[in-house]
């Protein structure tokens, strides 16, 4: 007859097993305990602590006998409540026979959902009753299971993965980022060595960086380039592995450590280019930088580790969050990638878009914020499929690194799509002609087919973005051929070739060619042109080619706090060449409160209605003071006349943003 037992006896033994394992395996966890009753009278059967003294719990386990089903709602709710009381990120259900691991739901949710599930162990076939665990063989198996629970928990906390499947995107990215940062330091040294050894390579790389404005956006050019090399290879690797879930015929990402790194990667990248993703995988000047053998070996080790994960089992939303968080915010700035907030991008898109099916171009696409938010907007306002939305969103960037991030950010909107081909091209926008055709897969591209089509660049309904902040004085330092290119842009706009504009102004000039009459341009620009001498020529061009819709400035917050430049949002509506010059008002809107005062969080159901109301108010409220913002208008015809009669006298378009209500009353 079997010796009688109960769950408390098993509980005591399980705590002993866990503590014995922690004592012999320093994994960064403190101890396991049975907790005294909490304030509501409940106590956790087994709690594993990161720091018991500081009361930092990482797992609570609710232990029962085999007669209690794992699907018992009361059992699950007890476990959830106890984990929430201790702020434990994870919980386990263990009825001796079965063991399952979950993420703790955020309070006040009481029930476990499928999305909370992380891992389960095979049921023990020899456990049928509570006493069965007392046999020596069963005890040994259960002790091993307790030890494995600790190992899996430690993997979760340190790498974000369990059983080689990523389940915690934030932890996984943090783990990956640390490895990338170590690589970046080595690449920095390699970069200095490689560029010192070749004057031509150094000249080519610096020119390439200058054309992106990179030298003027970062404090240390070599550090930014080293970071781009590291994150680009890691981003390409992750995307390749993710795409290989759908296309297992792609070559395995198994690298030979005795061979050079880039040729091996290039053979894989060229294989995926047969499908598309040209902007993500096309060759880059950064690949000409010679990496040391040690750096290459570290990359091979990292790629081999990443290849070892079970990518086919990773849930798409987890994978999407991995890509979303791949480059930390502080790193983006150091890499020359400035972040446009979702709220600001949404406001600009709201002001620039006319219909739900508008075609949108971002000529300096960067990481793809504007196109990603346009995608989200279309998802919320239309029934268009993912691939149909991608067909309407176009992005151009001279930087392969930026284009790579834009591709990833658009693809992650639906990683399960079989036609996930963003219209992103690595090009210098100023080389782009309205008559060109770009090569992309067709919208209904059959997976695995190498067929591509030459797609004419469409006339766009909206051109939006955040062009680079490179001042005219800095443009003087770039090579002569590029200055000639900018001069052609000015001449094409019927402006003097010798005009000295900041970089963003050339984007306005060139973007006009790609807009239909009635289409809108929405840019975030430096505010310097509002008062500068060169601004007179730009204002003249604007008042000849556009009807200014809204100029938006904030006194409550900088749109880009990491940049020491005042910025303004410029929304302009293109007029037909044959139309009379615009004569409507130039509308200056000053935000007196941050955008967060007008809009709830983006996840709130009321976000999109609130955004639409804000856009309507910004465009239509009369001159004067309103809740959170003020409006002032100048007559476009009068401004154009003043600019024509006194072309050398700057017109101050910054003053209307700071007009007081009393001045407005007197002026009106």
Question: To which H or E segment does residue 73 belong?
Answer: helix 73-85
Q: How many domains does the chain have?
A: 4
Distance between CA atoms of residues 600 and 547, nearest Å: 31
3-state secondary structure labels for all residues of 527-564: CHHHCCCHHHHHHHHHHHHEEEEEEEEECCCCCCCCCC
pLDDT value at 35 more than 80: no
Q: Within 13 Å of residue 191, how many CA atoms lie on the same side as its CB? A: 22
Distance between CA atoms of residues 27 and 157, nearest Å: 10
Specify if 520 maps to a domain.
Answer: yes
**Domain endpoint, select from 425, 442, 460:** 460
Do both 456 and 473 map to the same domain?
no
The b/e string for 58-85 (b: 16+ C-beta within 10 A; e otherwise) is bbbbbbbbbebebeeeebbebbbbbbbb
The mean-pLDDT minimum among 224-238, 438-452, 517-531 falls in 438-452
Do both 177 and 215 map to the same domain?
yes
**Which one, of 406, 377, 381, lies nearest residue 602 by Cα?**
377
Q: How far is CA 147 from CA 151, 176, 584, in A?
A: 6, 26, 74
Degrees (nearest 5) of the Cα angle 469, 474, 478?
Answer: 110
pLDDT value at 49 more than 70: yes
pLDDT value at 635 more than 50: yes
The domain in which residue 39 lies consists of 7-159
Mean pLDDT comparison of 92-96, 246-250, 425-429, 644-648, highest-scoring range: 92-96
Do both 473 and 435 map to the same domain?
no
What pLDDT is stored for residue 411 in this prediction? 85
What pLDDT is stored for residue 266 in this prediction? 93
What pLDDT is stored for residue 328 in this prediction? 63
Do both 146 and 207 map to the same domain?
no
Distance between CA atoms of residues 610 and 378, nearest Å: 16
* pLDDT level of residue 444 (50, 70, 90 thresholds): very low
CATH number at residue 608: 3.40.50.12420
pLDDT value at 198 more than 50: yes
Specify if 447 maps to a domain.
Answer: yes
Q: What is the mean pLDDT of residues 109-130?
A: 90
* pLDDT level of residue 667 (50, 70, 90 thresholds): very low
Query: How many CB atoms within 10 Å of residue 252?
Result: 10
Give per-residue pLDDT as tens, 536-568.
Answer: 899 999 999 999 999 999 999 888 766 667 889
Q: How many residues does the chain have?
A: 668
Degrees (nearest 5) of the Cα angle 476, 563, 490?
Answer: 35
Assigned token pair, 492: 């094409």
Question: To which H or E segment does residue 480 belong?
Answer: helix 480-492
Assigned token pair, 655: 């003053």
What are the DSSP calls for 279-341, one per residue?
A: HHHS--GGGGSPPPHHHHHHHHHHHHHHHTS-GGGS-HHHHHHHHHTSS-HHHHHHTT-PPPP
Assigned token pair, 21: 């394992």
Specify if 277 maps to a domain.
Answer: yes
Specify if 164 maps to a domain.
Answer: no
Distance between CA atoms of residues 19 and 147, nearest Å: 9
Q: What is the dihedral of CA 17, 23, 27, 31, to 10 degrees?
A: 70
Residue with tokens 């909370």: 116
**Domain endpoint, select from 403, 425, 460:** 460
CATH number at residue 112: 3.90.1570.30
Longest CA–CA separation in the chain, Å: 109
**Which one, of 522, 524, 611, lies nearest residue 572 by Cα?**
522
Specify if 222 maps to a domain.
Answer: yes
**Which one, of 77, 86, 72, lies nearest residue 33 by Cα?**
86
Mean pLDDT taken over the chain:
86
pLDDT value at 662 more than 50: no
Query: Is the distance from CB of 608 to CB of 562 less than 8 angstroms?
Result: no
* pLDDT level of residue 503 (50, 70, 90 thresholds): confident
* Alpha-carbon Rg for the chain in angstroms: 30
Specify if 239 maps to a domain.
Answer: yes
Report helix, strand and coil shares of the chain as percent, to nearest 5.
45, 15, 35
Residue with tokens 């979950």: 102
What pLDDT is stored for residue 416 in this prediction? 76
**Domain endpoint, select from 460, 482, 504:** 460
pLDDT value at 661 more than 70: no
What pLDDT is stored for residue 1 in this prediction? 43
pLDDT value at 217 more than 50: yes
What are the DSSP calls for 40-58, one per residue?
A: TS---SEEEEEETTTTEEE
Specify if 90 maps to a domain.
Answer: yes
Residue 152 exposed, middle or buried by CB count within 10 Å (0-12, 13-18, 19+): buried
Do both 474 and 612 map to the same domain?
yes
Distance between CA atoms of residues 572 and 13, nearest Å: 72
Do both 71 and 139 map to the same domain?
yes
Do both 276 and 180 map to the same domain?
yes
Do both 187 and 224 map to the same domain?
yes
Q: What is the mean pLDDT of residues 513-529?
A: 93
The mean-pLDDT minimum among 80-94, 387-401, 460-474, 618-632 falls in 460-474
Residue with tokens 């050339």: 506
61's torsion region: left (phi>0), alpha (psi -120 to 50) or beta?
A: beta
| Residue bearing the bigger pLDDT, 219 or 171 | 171
Do both 431 and 287 map to the same domain?
no
What are the DSSP calls for 359-427, one per residue?
A: -EEETT-TT-HHHHHHHHHHHHH----HHHHHTTEEEEES-HHHHHHHHHHHHTT-TT-S----EEEE-
Query: How many CB atoms within 10 Å of residue 656?
Result: 23
Q: Is the peptide bond before 598 cis (omega within 30 degrees of 0)?
A: no
Do both 492 and 533 map to the same domain?
yes
What pLDDT is stored for residue 381 in this prediction? 85
Do both 491 and 566 map to the same domain?
yes
Distance between CA atoms of residues 313 and 165, nearest Å: 6
Do both 515 and 541 map to the same domain?
yes
Specify if 2 maps to a domain.
Answer: no
The mean-pLDDT minimum among 311-325, 443-457, 462-476, 505-519 falls in 443-457
């Amino acid at each position: 007859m079997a010796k009688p037992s109960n769950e408390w006896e098993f509980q005591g033994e399980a705590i002993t097993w866990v503590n014995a394992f922690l004592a012999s395996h320093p994994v960064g966890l403190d101890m396991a305990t049975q907790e005294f009753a909490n304030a509501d009278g409940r106590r956790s059967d087994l709690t594993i602590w990161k720091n018991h003294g500081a009361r930092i719990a990482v797992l609570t386990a609710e232990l029962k006998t085999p007669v209690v089903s794992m699907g018992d709602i009361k059992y699950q709710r007890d476990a959830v409540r106890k984990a929430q009381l201790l702020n434990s990120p994870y919980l386990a259900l263990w009825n001796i026979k079965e063991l399952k691991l979950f993420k703790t739901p955020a309070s006040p949710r009481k029930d476990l959902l499928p999305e909370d599930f992380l891992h389960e162990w095979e049921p023990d076939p020899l456990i049928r009753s509570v006493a069965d665990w007392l046999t020596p063989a069963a005890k040994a198996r259960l002790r091993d299971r307790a030890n494995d629970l600790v190992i899996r928990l430690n993997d979760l906390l340190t790498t974000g993965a369990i059983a080689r499947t990523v389940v915690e995107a934030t932890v996984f990215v943090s783990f990956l980022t640390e490895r990338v940062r170590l690589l970046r330091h080595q690449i920095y040294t390699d970069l200095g060595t490689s560029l010192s050894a070749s004057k031509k390579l150094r000249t080519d790389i610096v020119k390439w960086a200058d054309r992106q404005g990179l030298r003027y956006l970062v404090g240390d050019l070599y550090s930014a380039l080293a970071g781009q090399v590291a994150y680009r290879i890691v981003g390409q690797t992750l995307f390749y592995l993710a795409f290989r879930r759908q296309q297992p015929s792609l070559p395995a990402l198994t690298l030979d450590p005795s061979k050079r790194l880039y040729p091996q990667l290039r053979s894989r990248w060229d294989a995926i280019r047969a499908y598309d993703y040209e902007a993500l995988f096309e060759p880059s000047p950064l690949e000409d930088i010679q990496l040391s053998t040690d750096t290459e070996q570290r990359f091979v080790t990292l790629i081999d580790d990443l290849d070892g994960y079970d990518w086919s089992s990773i849930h798409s939303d987890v994978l999407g969050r991995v890509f979303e968080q791949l480059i930390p915010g502080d790193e983006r700035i150091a890499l020359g990638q400035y972040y446009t907030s979702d709220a600001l991008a949404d406001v600009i898109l709201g002001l620039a878009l006319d219909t739900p099916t508008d075609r949108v171009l971002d000529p300096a696409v960067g990481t793809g914020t504007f196109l990603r938010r346009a995608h989200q907007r279309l998802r919320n306002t239309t029934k268009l499929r993912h691939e149909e939305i991608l067909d309407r969103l176009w992005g151009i960037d001279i930087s392969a690194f930026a284009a790579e991030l834009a591709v990833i950010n658009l693809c992650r909107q639906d990683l399960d799509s079989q036609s996930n081909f963003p219209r992103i091209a690595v090009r210098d926008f100023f080389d782009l002609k309205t008559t060109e055709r770009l090569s992309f897969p067709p919208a209904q591209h059959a997976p695995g087919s190498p067929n591509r089509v030459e797609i004419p660049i469409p006339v766009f309904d909206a051109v939006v973005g955040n062009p680079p902040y490179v001042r005219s004085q800095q443009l003087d330092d770039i090579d002569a051929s590029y200055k000639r290119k900018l001069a052609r842009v000015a001449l094409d706009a019927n402006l003097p070739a010798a005009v000295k504009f900041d970089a963003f102004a050339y984007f306005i000039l060139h973007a006009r060619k790609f807009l239909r009459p009635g289409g809108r341009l929405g840019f975030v620009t430096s505010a310097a042109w509002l008062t500068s001498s060169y601004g007179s020529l730009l204002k003249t061009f604007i008042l000849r080619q556009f009807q200014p819709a809204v100029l938006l400035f904030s006194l409550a917050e900088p749109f880009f706090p990491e940049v020491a430049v005042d910025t303004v949002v410029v929304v302009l509506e293109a007029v037909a060449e044959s139309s009379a010059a615009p004569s409507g008002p130039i509308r200056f809107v000053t935000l007196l409160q941050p955008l967060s005062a007008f809009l709830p969080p983006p996840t709130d159901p009321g976000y999109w209605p609130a955004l639409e109301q804000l856009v309507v108010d910004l465009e239509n409220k009369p001159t004067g003071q309103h809740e959170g913002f003020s409006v002032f208008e100048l007559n476009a015809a009068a401004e154009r006349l003043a600019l024509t009669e006194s072309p050398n006298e700057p017109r101050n378009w910054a003053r209307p943003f700071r007009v007081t209500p009393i001045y407005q009353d007197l002026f009106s």
